[in-house]
Amino acid sequence: MRGGFRAPRRFIGWQTFFDFGDGQVKRNKRIDTHISTPLFTLPLGAIASHDAPTVLAQRNLLRQLTWSMPSGQATARAMDQAALGNKDLSELKAYGFDKSTPLWYYALKEAQVMADGLHLGPVAGQIVAEVLIGLLQTDPNGYLVVQPSWTPTLGLGGTFKMTDFLTYAGVDPATRRSQQPSFA
């Protein structure tokens, strides 16, 4: 509004998360059970009820109890997945959570133990996949409803990667650079 120029569009820097071959990918921290310091003091504005507790881990534990959520081990059994062993969760023994681990903690620990923190483990990965697929299946205009036999045709050699999708959508770094307006 001021200065006579339109504000630049805001984009997600996808090259931070995915390797487009331009050397700009930034490897993120591995998934683990260590909680970042800012998550110990959430701003009240970030909490819908605007009340304490402000510690994310404490809020997660309360949700687990309030909503009677199944433990990570019970969820793994229900999914027919191998559950983490007691030795993997030995740090929780003193609190009685080694055999019945809160699902949020279990998901983090599973990634740490089973995937060296590089990606979600089988239980958390299946939860995320089922949520996303469920959303796609309920979209009346989505491919899974309109054309259920559709399969992606992008990618080289029969592979389809997230970078293929982002490039096709035109939000990859090279396409964005070519679409930047010139103010010269």
Q: Decide if pLDDT at 94 tops 90.
A: yes
Q: Decide if pLDDT at 7 tops 60.
A: no
pLDDT of res. 5: 59
pLDDT of res. 144: 87
Q: Is 172 helix (H, G, I), strand (E, B) or coil?
A: coil
143-155 tens-digit pLDDT: 889 998 887 777 7
Q: Decide if pLDDT at 14 tops 90.
A: no
Q: Which is nearest to 112 in space by CA: 84, 77, 86?
A: 84
Residues 100, 73: contact at Cβ < 8 Å?
yes
pLDDT band at 1 (very low <50, low <70, confident <90, very high): very low
Q: Which is nearest to 117 in space by CA: 125, 127, 109?
A: 109
Q: Round to whole Å and give the CA distance between 69 and 127.
A: 14
48-83 tens-digit pLDDT: 777 778 888 998 998 898 999 999 999 999 999 999
Domain boundaries of the chain, sorted by first residue = 32-148
pLDDT of res. 101: 96
Q: Which is nearest to 43 in space by CA: 32, 34, 30, 52?
A: 52
Q: Using alpha carbons only, give the angle 114, 115, 116 rounded to the nearest 5 degrees.
A: 105
pLDDT of res. 182: 55
